[in-house]
Amino acid sequence: MHLLVLGGGGFLGHHAVTAALGRGHEVTVLNRSGDTPVENAVVLTGDRNGDLSALGSGTWDAVLDTFTDPRPGRPAIRRTAELLSGRVGTYGYVSGMSVYAPAGPAVPDESAPVRTAGTEPGDDPLQERSLAKLGAEDLLDDVFDGPVFVPRVGIMVGPRDPSDRFSYWPLRLARALAGTREGPVLAPGDPARPVQHSDARDVADWAVAMLAEGASGTFNAVGPGRRETLGEVLDACLVAAGGSPGDVEVVWGDEDRLREGLAGVPEERRPLWFPEDQIPQDAVDSSAALAAGLSFRPVVETARDTLQWAWDHALDEGLAAGLTAEQERDLLRLAR
């Protein structure tokens, strides 16, 4: 397969480029820098909101697009879909669980997503992203002349995660073990609460395999494909940090009190899975994707690899999400 990846330098796109090259495929990447994100990928220079002349010629078996275009009419998605029609076999577009509830939380039904034609985004960035993904899905069905493959992803984690919402946990527990940040560690709600999350590398590898097969259709692609509780995930993060369950004191705070204490902290800057107003993750059914080959590695492996990447990342750039020591102390007082 000759795969075109629009972007490829960030998170999921980077892992897709790596996965495709690892499977022996040819990969072309379009980005603004002109730099290759992964060795052996061919790079075209272009801008989704500007010059796309680099895509004016050439053919590919598939394209993978992760772009979110919040503008009315989704002009960036429309331009690439029209430009590539007839020269690309399958258009893969990465959407998200939020399309099921662009106006607020709802139980997702893969066969009947919420449609909100004419709805305009407000000041809520999550709603804006939901409507952008929803609009792009509808647009591709109308504009692209060929099959469309749409994985709807949920919370993605792992190395290179720009949100740092999961990365906070193995780092926090590693620091507690090393004594470089005092305990106890505050955790949200009930340790028996089921949670869902996907290692982006697993989603990327499956998406590449599906595109190589020429697959089309819409799939929920949320991990881990097995029941996993928040307590189990944090235990795995502790093991990844070199400890064992029980080595660090964890205080489970009441969610209502935590919600009150975090009123001024945007959801995207909170660690997973502090009080958040998203769709109920345990209601997401990814059985169709699992039957089509999607699988997920053990969370301890994700945590270990994330921790290895996050040490230098945190030192160089700081974390985009998480609790400072002062915030955690204040919330612990509320929790107790």
Tens-place pLDDT, residues 31-45: 988 888 899 999 999
Residue range 67-96, pLDDT digits in tens: 988 888 899 999 999 999 999 999 999 999
Q: What is the pLDDT of residues 188-226, one digit of tens each?
A: 999 999 999 999 999 999 999 999 999 999 999 998 888
Judged against a pLDDT cut of 70, whether residue 114 lies above it is answered with: no
Q: Residue 321 in contact with residue 268, Cβ under 8 Å?
A: yes
Tokens of 51: 């010059």
pLDDT at 125: 60
The confidence score (pLDDT) of residue 298 equals: 96
In 3D space, the residue among 275, 321, 280, 283 whose CA is nearest the CA of residue 104 turns out to be 280
Query: How big is the chain, counted in residues?
Result: 336
Closest of 70, 60, 43, 198 to residue 136, by C-alpha = 70
Residue 317 CB partners (closer than 8 Å, separation 6+): none
State CA 174 to chain mean position distance: 23
Residue 278, pLDDT above cutoff 50: yes
Report pLDDT for 115: 42
Query: Into which CATH architecture does domain 162-196+226-276+298-335 fall?
Result: Alpha-Beta Complex (3.90)
Architecture of domain 2-153: 3-Layer(aba) Sandwich (3.40)
Q: Is there a common fold for 2-153 and 162-196+226-276+298-335?
A: no
Q: Output the average pLDDT for the chain.
A: 89
* Single-letter amino acid, residue 185: V
pLDDT, average across residues 219-248: 94
DSSP letters, 15-49, are: HHHHHHHHTT-EEEEEESS---SSTT-EEEE--TT
Q: Residue 118: pLDDT band by 50, 70, 90 thresholds?
A: very low
Higher pLDDT, 301 or 183: 301
3-state secondary structure (DSSP) of residue 275: coil
Question: What SS3 state is found at 60?
Answer: strand
Q: How many CA atoms lie within 13 A of 16 on its CB side?
A: 32
CB 218 within 8 A of CB 259: no
Domain boundaries defined on the chain = 2-153, 162-196+226-276+298-335
User: Closest Cα to residue 28, out of 39, 42, 13?
Assistant: 42
